Structure 1
Amino acid sequence: MQSQVTDERQPRRPPAQATAAPPLAGRMPEQRLLAGLVENLRAGRPALAEIRGLPGTGRSALLEWAAHHAREAGVHVEAAQASWEETEQRYGVVAQLRAAFAPPAAADPARPPATATADRTADLCRAARAAARAHPLLIVVDDVQWTDPCSLRWLRAQARRLAGVPLMLLTARTGTGPTTPEERLEPGSLDDERAVAHHTLTLGPLTPADVGDLLAAAFGTPADPAFRDAAARSTDGNPAVLRATAARLARHGRQPRAEHLPHLAECAAEAVRDRAARTLAALPGDLRSVLRAVAVCAPHTGPGTIAALTGPTATGTRRALELLAGTGLLTGGDHPAFREPAAARAVLAGMNAHDREELYARAAEHAHHTAVPDGALASMLTGARVLGAPWAVDVLRREAARHRAAGRPGEAARLLRRALREPMAPHLRVRTLTELSAAVLPLEPDTADRHLRQALRSPADADAGPSWIRAADLLVARGDVARAQPLIARALAGDRVRPAERSALRALYWLAAHSRRETSQALDRPPVPALPEHPDDPAEAAVAAWRQALLGQDIGRARRLARAALAPRHGHPAPLSPQVAACHTLVLTGDFTEAHAGLDAVLLRAEHADARAVAGSAGLVRAMALLHEGRPRDASTALDRAQEVMPPHCWHPLMSPAVVALKALIHLELGDTAGAGRSLGLARDDDGDAGDAGGGLGWACLLYARGRTHLAGGQRDAALADLLECGRLLLSQQAANPALLPWRSAVARARGLDPHDRDAAALLAEERRLALTWGAPGPVARALYATGGLALPEPVRPGSAVPADWRFRQALSALATARLAGPDAVAPPPGGTSVPPPPAVPAPRAAPARPPAPERVAAPPPTRPRAAREGLTGAEARVAALAACGHPNRAIAAGLSVTPRTVELHLTRAYRKLGIHGRPELAEALERLGKDTP
């Protein structure tokens, strides 16, 4: 016994040590009760008292205080301390109480000596009562839970014989749970409270006020309230841990101030670990075996499983658990568990790796047969050796799915990595790798791609096709299309893929190919057949529609293919990435309602399949659609939701520039040029320079957005460089549709909108021709506005409502007559180029501006009779007369409400009929024609 509060059992009665803090902080009620019992003992009234508490709560200190107070009051005191080393020694505790009574054999020389197995309980009771009658006697026994059976039998018998003598039994027990009838010390059944006082004192944690008093005594200065409360929480109000923590802080010169709270947490954790380690070192081997079993199985298993793992023990499994609960390491009850996780790790750290894995394996097998929940079973499997049992893989995958649904991807990844150590069928391995990729995507995007590529390289069986499709789908959706193509091609080259699965894989291959066309073809890559002209498979139809939209050809066919791809088919779920491409096609055709409906269906399937990359791509397409509709604020909200699902760091470098570009374009639509610049600043520095990002449609989108931003800021040279590079990239990717990115008109604006700039006029004419070829109303109207607005300072906003002026009427007229006018109506200018694949970003436009009314040209005097004789029609004569006055073709077209191409055709016919070679001769020819007219 000792007066200092400690956090482990001390040697027997060491000399008291001076301490700076009161050893009995917070135990004043217990002290008053014990002082009263001692005073009654002096008056001849017996008592029985037991102190309970977890290690470190001050049980031994309270015993020492009571013994010291009794001696000061003139009471004779005898003390003993039980220990687990002496639990097998007969009367080991009694042997420590030699001075309380003489050995029975010495009391009566005529009595024969007792044998080693003789029961001395009655003689010891008589001796103790005789000693108490001579002088009031206090018998103190610490750690009574370790008392040997013979001494415990004497203590129980002595407790029943206290009445009538000035004898008090004061014991201390580790733990706060109920004791068994064999351990309980109780007075005689006929003794009431007046005959024998009986008390049980349970020591709980210190209150915050008591913690403050102890800290003030330890540091010599009051503690801050925040520090005091934090110390009470981190030490659980345990005096021993609190004193050890305070000593560590004092050694480092820390005072109990709020600024030292981080150091408080570290010191408290260290004190808890040290206390657990010292307690473990004092335990016998069989109890350590029980602790190891609990560390492996807790808290979902009971004594039966623990007994199956440890085998027979000297004390029995239940008794061992009760003793361990008394040490404070374990909780009590039928499902014991460690109070401190650090203690469980310390128990297992003492085992070698092989024994530890074997113990986990035996625990998992036993738990599986006893229907333990998946959570506990998975915990055992993560530490076990390879079992080679199919149920192990199923348990780990089910539990991983539960963790993913609960938002714990790290735990899910740990379980799936353990599952991949087990032998499994090829298709199941591919599926598990895909699930692992989905789990690690929020934390390690590059690792997620690596797992998907590993899945596509895995050996195949007859059931691997669907898992391969899902892996390829996720790889393409995140943007890793460059490395997806050869892997999908190799998968298609195998003979284990069914026809429907082959079609889906072929669609994903061409979707990746159209997203980034490679400059060279790998020689060792198996050839992949082209998509059929009339695809029946929905995935192939989606990719064909998207390709058609990128080329900007046959809007009707693109629309039909996209609708067929999104039509539900029972029992034939298509991969999700092609469906996102089909929705993008409908955005480019202007069918926004159908696009939103398709995106809703894709998002629902993606959420069910835990396909973050697909959900993020669908969110980007929705934001594009809203931007095209002229709803930039809604587009910003949709983009924010997409980035919640797929944060910027989760996108592949090929895709991330498109996300940044879309955000910048939204800012431009809202008139926030500074916000667009800030968004563009988030682009990675290495994007587009080389490697993965360079050459992709995403980088083209970023160049377009950056050029538009420079243009809005008045930096025409920088804008022109970015926009021309954007066009070069799009043309190299065969993406010609101006509905995707109207870069040509943006280049014309960057060149200054000079009516005499032939290059700008050629670009505008090309954009107008391509928009008319595609035929969607939005791109056509924008192209016509840009064509007629060479003298305008601002471009037309692409998503804004088009005013019903002459330009809008001209757009409708051109749409209605484009096919009737024949190929000449949309013939490209010399050197024209066609194009395809799309970027992930829509083509936004600048702030709306109502263009000024075109300058009207005065009609010349009619020359109808001579014109008729020469074969000129009225329209040809009017156009020729205006051209002779020096008006450019564009102004003539605006004045007559016809297209510039129509003006060109009329002039060409007029030249031929008049026998001239060009405009310089036109005025003279018409003057001569006028003179000849009667």
Structure 2
Amino acid sequence: MPPIELPLLERDREQAALSAVIGELRSGRPAVVTVTGEPGLGQNDLLRWAAEHAREAGLRVLTAHATPAEHEVRYGVVAQLLAAENRALASRLFLTEEQPGGLPGLNGLLAAARHRPTLLVVRDTQWLDPASLRWLEALVRRLPRSSTALLTSTTGTALARPEWNVGTPLTGLATTIELALPPLTSSGTATAVLEVFEVPGDPAFTEVLAEATRGIPAVVHDVLDRFARAGHRPSADLIGPLRTLTAEVIGDHAARALSDLRDPAAVDALRALAVCGDLLDFPLVCTLAGPHAVSESRLRAALVASGLTTLRDGSPRVQDAVVRARILEEMPAAARAELYACAAALAQRVAADDQGIADLLLPARPIGDPWAVDTLRRGFTSALRVGRRDQAVAYLARALDEPLRPVERARIEFQLASVEMVTAPAAAERRLSGLTRAPGSGLRARATDLCLLGGDTRSARHALAGTIDSPSAAPEPRRGTAGAPHLPGTVHAHDTARPPVPERTGGRDRGGPGENPADAERDELTVLCRVAYFLRHEDAELDVLPVPALPDAVHNPAVAGIWAWEHGVVGLHREEVRRLARSAFVPGAFGRPLLVVPRLLGCRALLLTDDGDEAENHLGALLDEARRERAAISVAHILTVRAELHIRHGRPDAAARDLAAAEAELPLERLHPLFLPYWLALTMITDLQNGHVGRARETAARPLPPLAHESATAAQFLFARGVLARTDDDPQQAREYFRACGRRLLQHGCVNPAVQPWRSLAAEAAHALGDTEEARRLAGEELRLARRWGAPSPLGRAQLSLALIREEDRVENLRTAVATLGEAPARTAYTRAVLELAQARSAGDPRGPALALGAGAAVPPVSGHPL
């Protein structure tokens, strides 16, 4: 395939001006025309067109091209101009010594121009050698008495500014024109696409091409040429390859321009400019480049003339990231890291922007000064504030390359892991696993807490290795489906005696008898290990410790939160659970920070006791704290718990907002599989309550990863599927899902109907199928457990379910359910009970409110998730 040829696009104005100059030259009127613009805009293409046009008009045309390689060659350009007319003179110019005031060949040129108008075309005058520059200036001074025109092109600022520029006294008696070429517009780029492919390009394709090439014709030409040679068409679905190819072309252009830059001072200045030109003023960039016997103005002109920079606010700037990378990749790695380090130190001394200094530190060698770590941490905070998590991670990872004290290193590792939980979970798990085993850091419990939020149960359990050596660490019996577990310090779930739970004194705790930070940390690790076991049983793993006993040290807020949750799911001693849950939010001894997981479980325990308003206040405080710490994974989990609270209180619109915000913080594809069933279940229930049944079906059809089936939260997804089947009027499928949910909950010791009303819903499904015996058995068991627990919400729901199943005394039973639910925050269940009572009262009256609510109108909440 031959190379493509593009016409001069969007240069009609310039072509008209040059045609006029050529026409006037034929009449003997001299002119000086300079075509300017950044490299690649087509200055030389325009000069070639003008030269050809002049030849066709019968003019004599002499051409030359200045290059960086011949910048020091005396009369290099003059020799090219005269070679066609006087080859012998051109060759002698390089050999004879320059005479003072000598202008070889100039008089002969002017004499010949009297008989035949002459156009001199000189390309890239920014690279003129000094002797040729003086020769051309002498020519321009003689133009008013000659039929000669000078047409030149330049990019940026010449190293030595010619005296024939517009407005100088030298050209006062001759026509002087300066044509500044603009980039191609979107329309011009679209025309180029049409010329190459002979079909219009997709608007999206053309827009990206114009934006990526910045409308520079030389780049547009090369990109389209390579794109066509690759067999592509200008379609929107090839925007990715287009961007990649454009970056390659820009890099190749930069590499060619860099190879032409031979001045060591200019190379050093260009490298310094590529490192920090956007942060430091040009004089400081020159300082960074090192001492050179070259003036700042000459350096500025050399950089602009190189074509690798553009002028912005009067100072040169490297064009884009691709060019910057090509400039710096030629340096040895050690020299490049040293240059970045020096740039960062200079920027720090002049109090430059923290974010800019942090960017300089990323590729720099270790600085060894405290300001570097402080700057990187401030950059981390700023990056998180604007949502640039990947950049924030890079800042803290770089801070770890600096020399640090062990305690400070551990804190940075923890802070880094809290963000990596969202951006790189595997890296976060490795980092936190090391912190959980690092004694003396004071972060073992917090690291384990963060591990659990990320779903890493193994690290949470391994954190206990070497710290739990008491006899109470013996493994508990395997939790089965026959009932609830036998919790430490309490009686079995089916017993009714009150356990001897240790009392916690009010106010700020001073620690238990003999309590010290090591004991407090051990207790925190113990209860977190129990949460890990609840999330995922790993009894088959030989290297995982058995679940330890629950400590009695409820003066520790973390222990109190786990006590409250474990007693709450069993369904015993509601007042004790409420007291312990509240204790989870009271700061403990020694100024230890409160952990997130125990407080979340404390909030969930308050949901079970029907203290939703109090739980909502604590969740709001937790959310504010997590946002201050920029802990996205904590924010996400807090929002999901609050979404469940909204569902329980009949606020599905608020639940939908919290779930959307949670997914914005922690996308589902980054969520650990152990938590995925719970999030999907909340989404399904919210959609059902908001009337989006189709979306709920789509969520229910989503396959779960294998690990998700090992989690306690799998019960929630089964429950939500049962509710969906109930909405679809499929009692057979609904009963199977509710039964499966119940088996999974009992396996994990969740007996309390406040956790999940699966028995009531399974009973209603069995009743719809005609299995009255099973329906009554399940409804009766739900009512008995709800009475034992004593919270109005589960008790009212159980009473309502039993009233719907039993024909006898239905109105009285419904009145009882309405009275009970009237004291509960579950307004959806209360509304359903009121309507069912109204319908029962009006039975037999065709004008009565015969409203049979579908399941979707009274969708029960999802609960049972430990976080």
TM-score normalised by length of structure 1 = 0.72
* Counterpart Cα distance in 1 of 2:821 and 2:81: 112
Question: Once the 2 structures are TM-superposed, how far is the Cα of residue 147 of structure 1 from its aligned partner?
Answer: 1.3
| 1:502 shift after superposition | 6.1
Preserved CA contact (<8 Å) 2:735 2:766: yes
Question: Structure 1: how far apart are the matches of 2:795 and 2:802?
Answer: 10
CA 1:58 to 1:811, structure 2 compared with 1: closer, same or farther past 3 Å? closer
Correspondences of 1:400-479 after superposition (within 5 Å): 400-457=380-437, 459-461=438-440, 464-465=441-442, 467-479=443-455
1:599 is displaced (CA, Å) by 1.5
- Identify if the C-alpha distance between structure 1 residues 221 and 569 changes in structure 2 by more than 3 Å, giving closer, same or farther: closer
Equivalent residue for 2:365? 385
Give 5+ residue unaligned stretches, structure 1: 1-17, 107-112, 797-801, 816-840, 855-934
Residue 581 and residue 63 in structure 1: after superposition, are their counterparts in 2 closer, same or farther (change >3 A)? same
* Amino acid paired to 2:460: A
Which moved further from structure 2: 552-561 or 506-515?
A: 506-515
Q: Distance in 2 between matches of 1:271 and 1:658?
A: 49
Q: Map of 1:596-745 to 2, 5 A cutoff?
A: 596-666=616-686, 677-682=697-702, 684-687=704-707, 693-694=709-710, 696-710=711-725, 722-745=737-760
SS in 1 for 2:215: coil
Q: Are 1:507 and 1:539, in contact at CA under 8 Å, matched by a contact in 2? A: yes
Shift of 1:139: 3.3
Q: 1:270 to 1:99 in 2, by over 3 A?
A: closer
Cα 1:846–1:434 shift into 2, 3 Å:
farther
Shift of 1:409: 2.1
- Tell me: CA distance 1:25–1:705, structure 2 relative to 1, closer, same or farther (3 Å): closer
1:244-290 CA distances to partner (integer Å, 9 max, x unpaired)? Answer: 34433554566767787777656555543433333333332624444
Q: Deviation string for 1:186-219 (max 9, x for gaps)?
A: 59976674x2222212122245555566566556
Show CA shifts across 1:318-360 (max 9, x none).
Answer: 5244233224321125653322432222333334444433443
Answering whether residue 208 of structure 2 is matched by residue 198 of structure 1, we say: no
In structure 2, the residue matched to 1:834 is: none
For 1:716 and 1:628, the matched residues in 2 are separated by: 23
Q: Does 1:768 align with 2:783?
A: yes
Which residue of the other structure, out of 590, 602, 605, is the alignment partner of 2:610? 590
- d(CA) in 1 for partners of 2:367, 2:357: 13
User: How does 1:145-164 map onto structure 2 within 5 Å?
Assistant: 145-164=126-145
Partner amino acid, structure 2, of 1:52: T
Provide closer, same or farther for how the CA distance between residues 199 and 486 of structure 1 changes in structure 2, counting only shifts above 3 A.
Answer: same
Structure 2 equivalent of residue 552 of structure 1: 571
The question of 1:276 aligning with 2:254 is answered yes
User: Is it true that 1:574 corresponds to 2:594 in the alignment?
Assistant: yes
What do residues 201-246 of structure 1 show as CA deviations (whole Å, max 9, x unaligned)? Answer: 2122245555566566556677787776665545433333333344
Q: How much does 1:440 deviate?
A: 3.4
**Contact 2:141 2:171 (8 Å CA) reproduced:** no
How far did residue 843 of structure 1 move? 13
Q: 1:347 aligns to what? A: 327
- Residue 589 of structure 1 deviates from its aligned partner by 1.0
CA distance in 2: counterparts of 1:623 and 1:215, whole angstroms = 52
Greater gyration radius: 1
1:57–1:239 CA contact under 8 A, matched in 2: yes
C-alpha change, 1:34 and 1:635, in structure 2 (3 Å) is closer
Q: In 2, distance between residues paired with 1:125 and 1:567?
A: 96
2:561 alignment counterpart: 542
2:461 to 468, 485, 489: 485
1:49 is the counterpart of 2:33? yes
The answer to whether the Cα contact below 8 Å between 1:161 and 1:187 also exists between their aligned partners in 2 is no
| 1-structure distance, mates of 2:340, 2:534 | 51
Report the Cα distance in structure 1 between the residues aligned to 2:227 and 2:770, rounded to whole angstroms: 81
Q: Secondary structure, in 3 states, of the residue corresponding to 1:169?
A: strand
Contact 1:665–1:844 (Cα < 8 Å) also in 2:
no
Alignment partners' CA distance in 2, 1:228 and 1:636: 39
Cα distance, 1:684 vs structure 2:
0.6
1:664–1:343 distance in 2 versus 1, CA, 3 Å = closer
Code of the residue aligned with 1:87 in structure 2: it is H
Is 1:805 aligned to residue 785 of structure 2? no
SS at match of 2:179: strand
Change over 3 Å in CA distance of 1:786–1:137 after alignment to 2: closer
Q: Deviations over 1:368-415 (max 9, x none)?
A: 344343333333333233444443333333223322222222222333
Unaligned 5+ segments in structure 2 are 470-514, 842-867
* Number of the residue aligned with 2:859: none
Determine helix, strand or coil for the equivalent of 1:805.
helix
Q: Does 1:292 align with 2:292?
A: no
Q: Percent identity?
A: 34
Structure 1 residues 233, 601: closer, same or farther in 2, change over 3 A?
closer
Aligned length: 786
Q: 1:183 to 1:468 in 2, by over 3 A?
A: farther
Q: Corresponding residue for 1:826?
A: none
Question: What secondary structure sits across from 1:332 in the alignment?
Answer: strand
Distance 1:397 1:449 in 2: 21
Three-state SS of the structure 2 residue aligned to 1:610 is coil
1:36 aligned residue (20, 27, 36): 20
Write the distance in 2 (CA, Å) between the matches of 1:779 and 1:364: 63
Q: Which residue of 2 aligns with 1:922?
A: none
Structure 2 vs 1, CA of residues 469 and 842 (structure 1 numbering), >3 Å: closer, same or farther?
farther
Q: 1:671 to 1:490 in 2, by over 3 A?
A: farther
What RMSD, in angstroms, separates the aligned Cα atoms of the two structures?
4.7
SS at 2:316 equivalent: coil
The reply to whether residue 61 of structure 1 matches residue 45 of structure 2 is: yes
Q: Is the 8 A contact 2:800 2:813 kept in 1?
A: no
Give, in whole Å, the separation in 2 of the partners of 1:812 and 1:221. 71
Separation in 1, partners of 2:128, 2:348: 39
Given the alignment of the two structures, is residue 395 of structure 1 paired with residue 381 of structure 2, yes or no? Answer: no
Deviation at 1:602, TM superposition (A): 1.4
Residue 895 of structure 1 is matched in structure 2 by: none
1:172 to 153, 156, 162: 153
Aligned residue type for 2:324: A
Q: Report the secondary structure of 1:850's partner residue.
A: helix
- Mapped pair 1:376 → 2:396: no
Letter in 2 for 1:471: A
Select the structure with the greater relative contact order (CA < 8 A; seq sep ≥ 6).
Answer: 2
Change in 2 beyond 3 A, CA 1:502/1:394: farther
**1:686-722 residue CA offsets vs partner (Å, 9 max, x unmatched):** 256xxxx42x431233344444555666766665555
Equivalence for 1:563: 582
Partner of 1:243: 221
Change (3 A) 1:567 1:98: same
Question: SS at 2:278's partner residue?
Answer: coil
SS at match of 2:642: helix
Query: TM-score scaled to structure 2, two decimals?
Result: 0.77
Q: Distance in 2 between matches of 1:397 and 1:616?
A: 23
